[in-house]
Structure 1
Amino acid sequence: MSDFSNEPGNVLDKYKKDQDLSKLLSSLDGLGEEQQREAGESLEALKRPVKEMMQDQSNQLPTQLHQLKETVSQLEPNYLKTSQSKNG
């Protein structure tokens, strides 16, 4: 985690005391970049296992999801049609 979430007062004081404008602007320019990078890495890490899981030939999840969809359509025929029209 960055200093911003731990002690925001100290971080602000550091910027207030900084007299070098170019250094200050450079510091401000980089705000949030680390958090954005970490969020992107987390998102990629979450995408891979799901993608691999769905493509694995020995995995039963895709078949089970299809069976669930069929069961829902039998029990509540209009439900899937209604949800598709909302999304489309």
Structure 2
Amino acid sequence: MVYSAKDNDGYLTEKSIEAMRSELAHDIFRQDFAHIYEEQNLAHTELKTGVTDVMRELMDELQSGILASPEIEQMMIRLSERL
């Protein structure tokens, strides 16, 4: 935003200048950002799937008695609920 006490004497705040720089960078590098965001989303999905599989395996071991620890069992249940 441009502010002015006089009609022909405007100035920009530091916050406004940074906002314009950011918008300009996003316009210039929009394709690069789209590619980066796509890779991040893919990595996030793969990580979530991997964690879900590991958590499911550990919960199965806890329930079947292979892994016997009440403390670990409680912690795993809380962790799986949060994930």
Determine which structure has greater relative contact order: mean sequence separation of CA pairs < 8 Å that are 6+ residues apart, divided by chain length. Answer: 2
TM-score band by shorter chain is 0.3 to 0.5
TM-score by length of structure 2 reads 0.35
- Which structure: greater helix fraction? 1
- Which structure: greater strand fraction? 2
